[in-house]
Homo-oligomer: A and B are copies of this chain.
Amino acid sequence: MAKLTIKDVARHAGVQPSTVSRAINNHPDINADTKARILQSIRDLGYIPDRAAKNFRTRKMRSISLLLPMTGSDFYNRLINSIDETLEDYDYDAGIFPLLSERRLSRYQDPSALPYHTDGLVFASLNPSHLYESLFTIQGLPAVVLDIITPDFDNVTVNNELGGHLAGKHLQERPAQTFVINVEERFHTPFASGVFAERLKGFRAAQQEAGLDFPDSQVFTSEFTLDSARDAARKVLDLREGNINVFTTCDFFAYGLLEEVKLAGLTLGEEVRVVGFDDEKQAQSLGLTTLRQPVEEMGRMVTRLLMDRIQDPELPIRSVQFKPELQVRRTT
């Protein structure tokens, strides 16, 4: 059986191809009966429109690409779901491109790579200006950046500095020896979004405003493995002289700390107070005080900005910032 085309449908329904096209695409100028007859023919024959032909002809892919450093975290899962949901209103699909390996990174330097075969791009926690050897790669494709403020693209962020500040103020309610567990940020890599540095900056500012000393020696760093988080936690606990306050710049690091606190037989919320950042699903069940980012709203906003820009590329650049909210739970 040869491939069914719009011509076959037209013949079957006794109309011209252009009329079939109008029926498929919900064009207003079509008689309801004709339309019904055509749709019936389509069902009878089992016709499926050729997406490649349509994309080619209309110069629209009806899809966008989401580029992100990794997948599987609570944050990115929620983000993906929110973007998906919003795209449904536009009848668009999303392709997901986690930059898992060096290979992908270099392969995606090529303007004809898969991710750019699309109507627009979302960069999550990724700075296009650092990601690409040349922005020529993305050929002026509409793009929105999440997590990073940039003058070149629409962007959506959460006020991380404010979040760090809120964490600082909250922990100050119970004065104690104070520590931070932060990610070790390697700058000048595509993955240096700067969000963690901002959180720390806000926290530092809060300490300073309160006239509290906060030396670098009380900041420890961790990688994104539970082992590493626990290492950092142990270093903190080793320096403990009495009650302590700890700000972890993401929830994940707090998980390691909570384990170590339990193991050391210390009381959470008393001897050790902890504030995380992100409000991941686990944070709730662990009773972790943390800063909530409105991920769903952010996903919606990112999608809207992108779809707006796809419609009108000449729009002025927009920058939207959300506020994090402190979720007080048992660890403080």
User: Is A313 at the interface (CB under 8 A from chain B)?
Assistant: no
Given the complex of chains A and B, what is the CA–CA distance between A259 and B263 in angstroms?
Answer: 10
User: Is A190 at the interface (CB under 8 A from chain B)?
Assistant: no
User: Is A296 at the interface (CB under 8 A from chain B)?
Assistant: no
Tell me which residues from 51 to 69 in chain A have a Cβ below 8 Å from any Cβ of chain B. 51-53, 55-56, 59, 61, 63
Of A100-108, A246-254, A270-278, A298-306, which stretch is located at the interface? A100-108
Q: Are B56 and A226 interface neighbours, CB within 8 A?
A: no
- Residues of chain A at interface, number, CB under 8 A: 49
Given the complex of chains A and B, what is the CA–CA distance between A215 and B70 in angstroms?
Answer: 42
Q: Give chain B nearest CB distance to A276 CB in angstroms.
A: 16
Q: Are B93 and A81 interface neighbours, CB within 8 A?
A: no
Q: Are B100 and A77 interface neighbours, CB within 8 A?
A: yes
Given the complex of chains A and B, what is the CA–CA distance between A327 and B134 in angstroms?
Answer: 45
Q: Are A95 and B95 interface neighbours, CB within 8 A?
A: yes
List the B side residues contacting A72 at CB < 8 Å: 70-73, 76
List the B side residues contacting A139 at CB < 8 Å: 48
Copies in the complex: 2
Given the complex of chains A and B, what is the CA–CA distance between A136 and B4 in angstroms?
Answer: 14
Given the complex of chains A and B, what is the CA–CA distance between A139 and B48 in angstroms?
Answer: 9
Q: Give chain B nearest CB distance to A138 CB in angstroms.
A: 11
Partner of A56, one of B53, B96, B225, B285: B53
List the B side residues contacting A94 at CB < 8 Å: 114
User: Is A186 at the interface (CB under 8 A from chain B)?
Assistant: no
User: Is A113 at the interface (CB under 8 A from chain B)?
Assistant: yes
Q: Are A100 and B112 interface neighbours, CB within 8 A?
A: no
Q: Are A84 and B111 interface neighbours, CB within 8 A?
A: no
List the B side residues contacting A80 at CB < 8 Å: 98, 100
Residue of B nearest to A101 (CB): B81
List the B side residues contacting A98 at CB < 8 Å: 71, 80, 96
Given the complex of chains A and B, what is the CA–CA distance between A136 and B100 in angstroms?
Answer: 33
Q: Are A113 and B93 interface neighbours, CB within 8 A?
A: yes
Q: A93-B113, A103-B84 are in contact. Are A52 and B56 (CB under 8 A)?
A: yes
User: Is A49 at the interface (CB under 8 A from chain B)?
Assistant: yes
User: Is A46 at the interface (CB under 8 A from chain B)?
Assistant: yes
Q: List 7 A-B contacts (CB under 8 A).
A: A71-B72, A72-B73, A84-B103, A84-B107, A85-B103, A93-B113, A96-B98
Give 20 new A-B contacts, CB below 8 A, not counting A72-B72, A85-B103, A95-B114: A50-B56, A51-B112, A52-B56, A52-B59, A55-B55, A55-B56, A56-B56, A63-B114, A71-B71, A81-B101, A84-B100, A84-B107, A93-B107, A93-B114, A94-B114, A96-B96, A225-B282, A227-B282, A227-B285, A263-B263
